[in-house]
Amino acid sequence: MAVRVQREDFDPGAEMAALTAGDHAVGGVCAFVGLVRDMAGDAAISSMTLEHYPGMTERELERIEAQAHERWPLNASLIIHRFGRLDPGDRIVLVVTASSHRQAAFESCQFLMDWLKTKAPFWKLEETPAGGQWVDARDSDDTAAARWIDATKGDRGS
């Protein structure tokens, strides 16, 4: 398991290769790379600034990642999330999961992204022609995350 919160860009291919190097039990790797869009609804975005609380953010990402390892038989996982000012097209986040079986890799990668969107303590400021606008939580993100709640055990993502 690995979590990094950093200002610097990352190379997804190099990160995936390093994560699985020498582990020949891995049968599937699933990755998601999030990028800064140039539009938010009808508004053009010239940049996005991501803020976080150092220490608290890493602990929350580690907790979310540990839940994925409890739920699926993962060989390895990686979460990299950037902060600071980013331009359209820049990479924001990388989530990689590796497992002996593809289904576990797919599902755990989706789980991690759904929980990151709703639980990770990041704040986004989008720069538009109208000025800076803080991004509010989206109902669609909550809906996506809700499918991972185990009704018999409560919200394991909190």
What's the pLDDT at 71?
Answer: 95
What's the pLDDT at 151?
Answer: 42
Give the C-alpha separation, 64 to 30, whole Å: 17
Compare 83 and 141 and report the one with higher pLDDT: 83
Provide the pLDDT confidence category of residue 69 given band limits of 50, 70 and 90: very high
Interacting residues of 101 by C-beta distance below 8 A, sequence separation 6+: 27, 28, 73
Highest mean pLDDT among 41-45, 47-51, 120-124: 47-51
What's the mean pLDDT in 10-31? 97
Give the C-alpha separation, 12 to 96, whole Å: 9
Residue 16: is its pLDDT beyond 80?
Answer: yes
**Prediction pTM value:** 0.88
- Using a pLDDT cut of 90, give the percent of the chain over it: 72
Record the tokens describing residue 66, joined without a space.
């540990």
Q: What is the pLDDT of residues 106-119, one digit of tens each?
A: 999 999 999 898 88
Compare 104 and 151 and report the one with higher pLDDT: 104
Q: Average pLDDT, whole number, for the chain? A: 90
Domains and CATH numbers, the chain: 3-146 (3.90.1170.40)
Phi-psi region of 55 (alpha: psi -120 to 50; beta: other; left: phi over 0): left
What's the pLDDT at 149?
Answer: 80
Do 95 and 120 form a contact (C-beta atoms < 8 A)? Answer: no
